[in-house]
Structure 1
Amino acid sequence: MAVTDIDILPNLRDLGGLPLAEGGSTRTGVLYRSALPAPGDARPTAVEQWPARTVVDLRSARECATREHPLQSKETTVHRISLLSDAEVAAPNQGARLADIYLGILTNAGERLVDVLQVAATAPGPVLLHCAAGKDRTGIAVALLLRTAGVAPDDIVADYMVTNQHMDAVLARLTRFAPELGQAHPNDRDLRGVVVEAIDGVLARWDNHPGGVHAWLRAHGATDDTIQGWNARFTE
């Protein structure tokens, strides 16, 4: 059977090779990001090692409830860490600014973002982060891991904006592979793609926190060992 575009996991990339603000770069083969994996996906060519050995699924409980995760296997462990509640996912945005939604995640799910860091720092790699569209919840979690490791804000924003190149495929996949969301997808949050002001607000919140992003993480339950372990794993 021929492989079509909808059979290929969109917005998948290895976050290695990004420059660090103080020299060096992020290490390849450690951290991936993508949109929602689906049963029957073709083996991707965008990353070297597949499947990832650890998956962090950032969707809500209802989004995850209809089927077993397609990457769950003896070789791959899936961790479910919801960054938005079922109600928040299903509710119309009613014109809410994406920047406000992002800051709401920092306020309401800070401890769960620390859980993402803990998994990324300690679980077998590569580690794949995804949600439904792979843009908002994934964008925030990826930005946190990159900023924690010392990637400069401009490079984090550049990676975040790459997602807009994949939105046609992402929206087509959501229509086919996320029936549990009913008419909630594609919603206005997804249709507008990624918005630079939204991730800028997140990065500013971390950088303006006294002591920066590491202190923000500690305030939400992270340990120095976890922060240092992640940086040792992801940077070179």
Structure 2
Amino acid sequence: MTTVDVAAARAGGMCNLRDIGQMSASIRPGVVYRGDAPQDNDPPPRLTPWPPRTVVDLRSVDERQPVHPLTDAKIHHVQLLAAANPLLVARHVEEEGPQTLANLYVSMALHRAEQLVRIAEIVANEPKPVLIHCSAGKDRTGVAVALLLSAVGVPRAEIVDDFLLTNDNIDQITARIALYLGADPNETAFEANRPAHAVGADAIGAVLDVFEGHPGGTPKWLTDNGFSDLDALRSALLRQPSA
């Protein structure tokens, strides 16, 4: 059994954080970050600019702190799906198989359209940079970011590649979950669930099928669900063509 390095997790800060503008040639850097949950006393990450001016916190009430650690940012709580708490997700994946993630992601698209539209509105209109995060920065955050990228025309392969980068951080994610969500990192059951925190292309592909398969594609999925700021979203996210 591998030992989860909780001390390193405490010292290392956010472990699944990245600038989506560094993942795609068409997205502006320094505008939208995605990540796991920031915690009190985290060291500042190597992202410029930092800290974010706007935060979209996708966690449930039971997961989050009474006061968000990024006190200088405008915090938007958008509870995307309480059942996506990473401890619960890992347990379901362990018990029911990896298709659980695909089902969960599709459920967000089918039943949380209002919340997903709200995330797009915040990214389109609020001060930048914007940090989008949940607890682990993979499931709820992954679906929200996939929607944004797909809506502005980022190729599907790039969206999947960005999503899969989370797998490079599974050990650190596991340790952070142990540290901040109350799991015991020394329990065999917790260690057994470690692979279930991983993500696969099929899961994000399933929800992209929903968005892209909508008549008119992902942009029309957004507008049909009440979004009216496509131009603002494109302006916020897309790099400007060279003169």
TM-score scaled by length of structure 2: 0.83
The equivalences for 1:140-219 within 5 A come to: 140-179=143-182, 188=193, 191-219=196-224
Aligned residue in 2 for 1:16: 21
TM-aligned CA deviation for residue 88 of structure 1: 6.2
CA distance in 2, matches of 1:190, 1:78: 32
Q: Does the 8 A contact of 1:56 with 1:80 survive in 2?
A: yes
Offset of residue 67 of structure 1 = 2.7
Q: Does 2:54 correspond to 1:51?
A: no
User: CA distance change for structure 1 residues 4 and 88 in 2, over 3 Å: closer, same or farther?
Assistant: closer
Deviation track 1:56-111 (CA, whole Å, cap 9, x = no partner) reads 001112222x43111123xx1111001113x6645852416210111011111111
Give the superposed CA RMSD. Answer: 2.6
* Equivalences, count: 223
Q: Answer yes or no: is the 8 Å Cα contact 2:123–2:236 preserved in 1.
A: no
Paired residue for 1:70?
Answer: 69
In the other structure, the counterpart of 1:84 is 81
Equivalent position amino acid for 1:176 in 2: L
CA shift for structure 1 position 197: 0.3
Tell me how far 1:185 sits from its aligned partner. Answer: 7.5
Q: Which residue does the alignment assign to 1:107? A: 110
Unaligned runs of 5+ in 2: 1-6
Say whether the 8 Å CA contact 2:152–2:219 is kept in structure 1. no
Distance 1:4 1:198 in 2: 30
C-alpha separation between the residues in 1 aligned to 2:68 and 2:195?
22
Distance change >3 Å, CA 105–CA 185, structure 1 → 2: farther
Give the letter aligned to residue 57 of structure 1: D
Identical residues among aligned pairs (%): 37
2:41 is matched with 40
Q: Is the 8 A contact 2:84 2:139 kept in 1?
A: no
C-alpha distance in 1 between matches for 2:59 and 2:190 = 14
Secondary structure of the residue aligned to 1:128 is: strand
Asked whether the equivalents of residues 53 and 127 of structure 1 are also in contact (C-alpha less than 8 Å), the reply is yes
SS of 2:63's equivalent in the other structure is helix
CA distance in 2, matches of 1:107, 1:43: 36
Consecutive unaligned residues in structure 1, runs of 5 or more: none
Q: Contact between 1:57 and 1:81, CA under 8 Å: does it hold in 2?
A: yes
Check 1:123–1:104 CA distance in 2 against 1; reply closer, same or farther (3 A cut): same
Q: Quick one: distance in 2 between partners of 1:228 and 1:103?
A: 26
Structure 1 CA distance, aligned partners of 2:137 and 2:190? Answer: 13
Q: Is the 8 A contact 1:53 1:124 kept in 2?
A: yes
